[in-house]
Amino acid sequence: MSESLLARMASLPQSSSGPVSSPCTLLLLDLRDAQQVQEMATSLCTDEERRRFSAMRPGPRATRTLCRALVRQQLATMLGVHTRDIAIVEHDDSRPTLDLKHRDAGRRTLDFNVSHSADLGALAICERGRVGVDVERIKSRTNEMAIATATLSSSEVTALGALAGVDRAARFAQFWCAREATLKATGAGVWGGMSTTEIERKLDAAGNGNVVLSDGQCGQLWEPVLSQWPEYRAAVVWLAATAFGAS
């Protein structure tokens, strides 16, 4: 697979005020080059996925297929097994996870999460705890403040109200990414908690920090600077395994 197609970000930084960092990696998938995307589909997808992919138009379904294939490839590499042995399952909360046999292999409770927006896909993997990731392309919305009022915290709404144009759109995308990544890590999902879960962002100057939920649960937040994709914003949230009753 072309190195220009897949960018590996640094591991989740250590936050001085947060929990111990999990070994967590963010992979970004550049889908702007149609020829390279086709090459990736050929190398990573199963025969059935390739058949479906060839019939798809560029868009969310095609991106989802590639991201799922990338998940299998990366997890198989980490575990030292063949991609055909990797099974991805969905639980009652529809949150995809690695099958139990491989998730606990070598006492590493592997977890992953996937997001995609327009021409950018994102995959976050951690070796313990739970991880959520979201990536969003910056775009102006006529009802931006209405959406913000219904879904974001009062402090975030106030911050957005002081901005306009592309600055507001970029900040909205960042707030949304942090909130969605948090909800994906908890398993609540966007529709299950976007407007009902209080999430407070606490960041340092480098974009690292914490998210604090209304129930007192605290997660580590990373908002990486996507220098190759300035029109996007992203967030990764890691929650300790103890938050879910795991050891």
Which is nearest to 135 in space by CA: 217, 218, 230, 240? Answer: 230
Query: What tens digit of pLDDT does each residue of 46-66 get?
Result: 888 788 877 777 777 777 778
How far from each other are the two terminal CA atoms of the chain, in whole angstroms? 37
Parallel, antiparallel, or unpaired for β 24-30 and 120-126? antiparallel
Collect all residues with Cβ–Cβ distance below 8 Å to 3 and sequence separation of at least 6: none
Top pLDDT among 172 and 205 is at 172
Residue 184 region by backbone torsions, left for phi larger than 0, else alpha for psi between -120 and 50, else beta: alpha
pLDDT > 60? residue 132: yes
Using pLDDT thresholds of 50, 70 and 90, give the confidence band for residue 15: very low
202: tokens are: 């606490």
Q: Which residue has the tokens 């399952």?
A: 89
What is the chain's mean pLDDT, rounded? Answer: 77
Adjacency order of strands within the sheet including 218-222: 130-137, 232-239, 218-222, 208-213, 199-203
The predicted structure's pLDDT at residue 59? 72
